[in-house]
Amino acid sequence: MTERPSSPTGLALGSDGYPAAGGVARRPVGADESARANRRWWDAAAPAYLAEHGSDLGDVEFLWCPEGLREDDAHLLGDVRGRRVLEIGCGSAPCSRWLRRAGADVVALDLSAGMLARAAALNRSTGIAVPLLQADAGALPLADGSVDIACSAFGGLPFVADAGAVLAEVARVLRPGGRFVASVNHPLRWPFPDSPDPEDLRVVSSYFDRTPYVETDDAGRTVYVEHHRTVGDWVRAVVGAGLVLVDLLEPEWTPGRTQNWGQWSPERGALVPGTLIVVAEAAG
């Protein structure tokens, strides 16, 4: 039997370069287990993920979602010039470099050292240096009221067990009137197969089943976790954190965009939403 190659994290890699799943389950997963698994998974997956999606993400671009919505066009954050901005789940930090180029004072945060290593390399190659911080989104190492804007483009929130705790941290570090914008997997994706083919738009599980999706390695160890919340769950989490909900966006597919991205595709995007964007503000 041919052994799978492994990453420096010790996770076996599949032929596509991503960590290989030995098994898939649906079961409860706590915050610590989620964080450990997803840190290792993203450390191992960073090269394959950026090889696959790096050209779309760009080095100095702010892409909100696979539908192709960009901050250049959306203006969800408002005028960022001179504002203190925190990006949560920055990955290779193209959004943070876009913000820095737009005149913001940025801090880019991620759980994954593998992603942050790529971010540091791109800081050097682009000449746009943003401070990089490795930390858990549920325990932001920033002072109360120290941030004007917080944002997250598919960064962290789908992978945390306690979204309410993360949102409470966001509310804590935002200044009164500060803005928070985050894009996440649209909850409607959950009951359908993970396929870009519109022929696969059939309900295979309950929209209301919040049991996390878990991948394990050949030894049964948890290597990847994704958490599901309904639209109502997201609204209650935002309000429960003391934030004021301003808007919920469901971006439509950008005309002329042809890229498939996992479950997202032009054909499927014409039928159902794939992304939910939460726009909120700190009270005051």
Q: Which position has the token pair 């898939």?
A: 24
Cα dihedral across residues 171, 175, 176, 181: positive or negative: negative
For the residues of 54-101, what is the DSSP string, one character each?
HHHH-SS--B-STT--BHHHH--S---TT-EEEEES-TT-HHHHHHHH
Residue 1 confidence (pLDDT) = 41
For 46-60, the pLDDT digits (tens) are: 999 999 999 999 999
Write the CB contacts of 97 (distance below 8 Å, at least 6 apart in sequence): 59, 60, 122, 123, 126, 128, 130
pTM score > 0.75 for this model?
A: yes
Sequence spans of domains, the chain: 23-282
CB 87 within 8 A of CB 151: yes
Residue 258 confidence (pLDDT) = 94
Residue 10 confidence (pLDDT) = 82
Name the superfamily (CATH) of residues 23-282.
Vaccinia Virus protein VP39 (3.40.50.150)
Residue 6 confidence (pLDDT) = 58
Write the CB contacts of 136 (distance below 8 Å, at least 6 apart in sequence): 35, 111
For the residues of 233-252, what is the DSSP string, one character each?
HHHHHHHHTTEEEEEEE-PP
Q: How far is CA 34 from the centre of its chain?
A: 14
The tokens for 12 are 């076996």
Say whether pLDDT at 44 is over 80. yes
CA gap 62, 50 in Å, rounded: 15
284 confidence band (pLDDT: 50, 70, 90): confident
Say whether pLDDT at 4 is over 60. no
3-state secondary structure of 11: coil
Nearest to 45 by CA among 20, 18, 21, 22: 18
Say whether pLDDT at 5 is over 70. no
For 222-263, the pLDDT digits (tens) are: 999 999 999 999 999 999 999 999 999 999 999 999 999 999
Nearest to 84 by CA among 155, 149, 175: 149
For 93-142, the pLDDT digits (tens) are: 999 999 999 999 999 999 999 999 999 999 999 999 999 999 999 999 99
Q: How high is the mean pLDDT of the chain?
A: 95
Say whether pLDDT at 3 is over 70. no
In one letter, which amino acid is 36? Answer: R
Angle subtended at Cα 57 by Cα 136 and Cα 45, rounded to the nearest 5 degrees: 55
Say whether pLDDT at 32 is over 50. yes
In one letter, which amino acid is 28? Answer: P
For 167-222, the pLDDT digits (tens) are: 999 999 999 999 999 999 999 999 999 999 999 999 999 999 999 999 999 889 99
